[in-house]
A = this chain, B = another copy of it.
Amino acid sequence: MEKPKTGQAFVFQKDIPAEDMPTWTKRRIAAHGKEMMLVENEFMTGDTAPEHEHYHAQITYVISGALEFTVDGETQILRQGDSVFIKPHAVHSAEAVEDSLIVDMFAPMREDFLD
């Protein structure tokens, strides 16, 4: 299995690799083009995304579970159906308070994820 190609239209989850991550459980790079990228992330309770920032705008959407998100110093718990917009260079972090599945979207794409 390999990551989908940049600009590839259809991406089937069964065809893409789930990468083990240092501080959370799994990441899958899904559909993307140069303008934007979708990334699916699985967190177990207590997993974290440590504080960081990037020039890409980001939206995270919670499919299941619950996570504590901090963006620009404001902290909220996000649950199923909730979302957060992270403007370019906003400092942000997350910690799963339940086992969670989320999608992160970036504009433009995270070229640093493709190596």
The chain A residues found within 8 Å of chain B, CB to CB, are 7-13, 30-33, 35-38, 40, 57, 59, 61, 63, 69, 71-72, 74, 76, 78, 80-88, 90, 103, 105, 107-108
Contacts and interface: CB of A to CB of B under 8 A. Distances in A.
Contacts of A90: 9
Contact of A84 (B9, B81, B108): B9
B85 A31 contact: yes
Contacts of A108: 107
A85 B8 contact: yes
How many copies of the polypeptide does the oligomer hold? 2
Interface of A (DSSP majority class)? strand
Given A31-B59, A38-B59, A11 B84 contact: yes
Contacts of A83: 11, 13, 30-31, 38
10 contacts: A9-B74, A10-B71, A13-B80, A30-B59, A30-B83, A31-B83, A35-B88, A36-B59, A59-B105, A105-B105
Contact of A33 (B33, B35, B57, B61): B57
